[in-house]
Every structure is written in structure tokens, then in C-alpha cells.
Structure 1
């Protein structure tokens, strides 16, 4: 019967490494999409902020919002009086501001959607591994019961005296250890075929940043490995330490 337990369990976990690899690959694709959207969002926010600051500067000089910027536009030059110019500038400012706001809201919604998808994938991974761990625990308990019954049938002494708390805990600890080893083995099998990145040579996880040098040997880096956080996230182009030296950048 022990062979049957092992065979059945081996068959049940045969697809786990492939499933984990597929989920990890999906997480990386979502990370890449999120990175591109974050760059786009930061650009739109900077443009809108610049627009508002220019509008405020125009008001400070006695004009309408955006009038200073729009008056320098040759396409809007003409014989219109000052009132018409002010009204035109106001309309131009509002249109641009609404356009930026719409793009910012859309990009933010897409980022939230990606975050929800990543959470869903992580939950699937957890549920999958947890399901097999629980099955292993059930099989081990059933196997222990089967051995105890067989010893009784053969007239042998129980392997463990009833009520021996220390031995019972030791057996349960062994079961838990086997479950943890299974979990680590499943993750190791998935990680073995998952692409690795960064100077740490680990798989994609958490926040990552890409080096702008197209010839960079590593390309992608974990925030924690290059000393970055959400607060210190670079707003412009970012180069890794090796590429900064190679390109002579500070």
C-alpha cells in the first residue's frame, strides 16, 4: 500500500512545476506591462504639472490661464482682441488639462487592474501548493493508520505507546517537515526553468527596473538589489552601475 500512496502522490504533483513556471511567466509579463505604464503615467503627470504651472504664471501676469503659453503659438496669432485671446487661451488650457487627466485616470485604472491580476495569480500559486501539502498530510496520516492496523493484525506491539506526547509531536513534526520540503522542491523545480535576472541571478519578483543601455548584459534589476525604493524611484532614465561606468555617466 505504501507504494500506492507514493505513486498516487507523485502523479498528483507531476504538473505542479509546469503550472508554477506558467504562473511565474505570467507575473513577469504583468511586471513588464506595469513598468511601461508607470513610465507613461509619470510622463503625463509631469506634462500636466508643467501645464498648470504655466497657467498659473500666465494668471500672475494679468492674463487668462495658459495665455502666456498660447500667445506664443503662431497658429493662434491674428487680429483677435485681448478678450478673444483670453477666451481662446482658457479653452485651450481646459482641453489640454482634461486630456491629461483622462490619460492619467486611464493609466491608473490599468495599473490597478494589473495589480489585481498579479494578486490573483499569487493566490492560485498558493492554493495549488497548499492543496498538495494538505493531500500529503492526509496520505501520511492514512499511511500511519494503515501501518498501525497491520501491526495489530500481525500481533506486534504498537510502534509508539499510546499517549506518548513527545513521540506524537515528533511524528507530526516529521509530517510538517515533509510538507515544507515538498513546497521547497516544487518551487525549486519551477525556478530552475524560470529566466533569471539582476546581479543576484534570481527570478523576477517584486519591483524591478530596467537599464536604459540597450547593450546591458543584465537588463533588469530588483529594486532591493540596486538600493531603490518607491520613494527613490528614478523619474528619468536609469543605468546600472556597470553601464554607468562604461558610458561615463554619473
Structure 2
């Protein structure tokens, strides 16, 4: 599936990222240690200068102050190196974030194209079968088996021309939100897992099937089988007969 392809590609791209980040953080830690050592050296030089300044000649004072200046300069170099490492870390992470955004955008386009083509190509056959089932189930006054005057949520989807292959919410939702989207308590549930419709689904050809629609993964399918298809429960009931 496209989702698996994009996920595998992205995981491959970030495989070396943890090692690179660990290396840079280790270098930053080493620079911190060197800076602390230089700071301690500066404190010692400063204390020594204050204690001996009255007894030092002008040239010795200059040399002593030069040592302190050099130590400060080293601290500054260490700080600049840390900034450069931090910028590298930011750019590495930002590069992968931008790649993720681009992959999500491509995945969204692929998903929308698949939804559009899938609904148009496969809905006619499924709708004709389901419409036939609905007519058989309804009485002369347009009531279904349960005597309801109103269509079920699934029948409403079929009348609107939308296959139960996907939830209507997925048509307007960003793909990054699909896995985390909240479940509407009013959304009808299907399949053996009693979950809402999502992804690719298949309808049982048993007109009396109490469930009717099933997720591909829940019934071990990856592609639509040819010919008639019966769900595991209906197959078990048929074998008993």
C-alpha cells in the first residue's frame, strides 16, 4: 500500500539521524568540558594577577593579562563551535521535517486520486448488488426488515454515491490525521472488529449477512478477489448447513 511505501522510505531516510545527532551532542559535551577547564584557568590567572600585580613589572603584567585574554579567546572559540554544531543539528532535523511534509503532501494527493478513481471504478458493481439486496429486504411500503421508515447510514452513503470503502471524513482530512482522528459516536460500525469504515473494504455477497462490510486487513485480503466473496461468519454458517 502507498502508506507502507511512504513510511518505509521515510524510515530509511532517517536511519542514520540518531547516530549523527549523538555524535554532535557528544562534541558539544566535549566543548562544554573544555570551556569549564578554561574558565577555571581564567579564575586562577585572575587571582594570581591580583595577588602579584604590585610586584610585577610592566612587561610581566602585559604577559599575564595576555594569558587571560588568550584563555577568554579559547572560550569564545569553543562557544562558536557549539553554535555551529547546534545549527547543524537544527538543519539535519529540519531537513527531515521538510521531507516528511513533502511525503505527506504526496501521500495526500495519491490518497485523493485513489479515492476518486476507486469510487468511480468499483462502486457501480457494489451499489447494484447492494441496491438489489435493499429492494429484497424492503416490503411493499418501503420498510426494511426492522420496519424502519428511514434509510440506514450505509444506505444513505450508497444513495449519495459514496462507497463504504472509506469514511466520508477521510475525503476532507489530511492523511497525517487519519490514524489519530477521533471516532464519531454516531458513525456506524462494520466488520468483525466493529470499527468505523476506513481504507479498503469489501462487501459480503450473502444477502442475509448481518455485518455486510469488512476491512481488507481484518479478513486477510490485500486485493479484491474475483467473483463472489463471503465473510468468515457466513462461510461457517454455510458449512453447517
Give TM-score, length-normalised by structure 1: 0.48
Rg larger for = 2
CA–CA distance in 1 between the matches of 2:10 and 2:45?
A: 53
Match of 2:97 among 99, 122, 133: 133
CA–CA distance in 1 between the matches of 2:52 and 2:33?
A: 29
CA–CA distance in 1 between the matches of 2:93 and 2:67?
A: 39
Structure having the higher helix fraction is: 1
| Residue 112 (structure 2) aligns with | 148
Cα distance change of structure 1 residues 3 and 128 upon mapping to structure 2, 3 Å threshold: same
| Residue 87 (structure 2) aligns with | 123
C-alpha offsets along residues 103-137 of structure 1, whole Å, 9 cap, x if unaligned? 01111111000000001111111111111111111
CA–CA distance in 1 between the matches of 2:167 and 2:63?
A: 76
Task: Describe the SS at the equivalent of 2:119.
Answer: coil
Cα distance change of structure 1 residues 174 and 50 upon mapping to structure 2, 3 Å threshold: farther
CA–CA distance in 2 between the matches of 1:95 and 1:173?
A: 69
Cα RMSD of the aligned pairs, angstroms, is 2.6
Cα distance change of structure 1 residues 98 and 160 upon mapping to structure 2, 3 Å threshold: farther
| Residue 19 (structure 1) aligns with | 20
CA–CA distance in 2 between the matches of 1:152 and 1:172?
A: 15
More contact order relative to length (CA 8 Å, sep ≥ 6): 1
| Residue 38 (structure 2) aligns with | 37
CA–CA distance in 2 between the matches of 1:27 and 1:172?
A: 37
Instruction: Using the TM superposition, give the Cα deviation of residue 49 of structure 1 relative to its aligned residue in structure 2, in angstroms.
Output: 1.7
CA–CA distance in 2 between the matches of 1:142 and 1:133?
A: 14
Structure 1 unaligned runs (5+)? Answer: 56-65, 67-91, 178-250
Match of 2:63 among 93, 99, 104: 99
Deviates more, 1:150-159 or 1:100-109: 150-159
Report if the CA contact (8 A) 2:24-2:89 is conserved.
yes
Structure 2 unaligned runs (5+)? Answer: 121-161, 181-241
Instruction: Using the TM superposition, give the Cα deviation of residue 161 of structure 1 relative to its aligned residue in structure 2, in angstroms.
Output: 7.2
| 1:112 and 2:76 correspond | yes
C-alpha offsets along residues 114-167 of structure 1, whole Å, 9 cap, x if unaligned? 0000011111111111111111111112111101111111235486579x9xx6
Count matched residues: 134
Report if the CA contact (8 A) 1:44-1:104 is conserved.
yes
User: For 1:135-214, what aligned pairs fall within 5 Å after superposition?
Assistant: 135-155=99-119, 157=162, 171=174, 174=177
Task: Describe the SS at the equivalent of 1:14.
Answer: coil
Instruction: Using the TM superposition, give the Cα deviation of residue 42 of structure 1 relative to its aligned residue in structure 2, in angstroms.
Output: 0.7
Report if the CA contact (8 A) 1:23-1:125 is conserved.
yes
Report if the CA contact (8 A) 1:148-1:159 is conserved.
no
Give TM-score, length-normalised by structure 2: 0.50
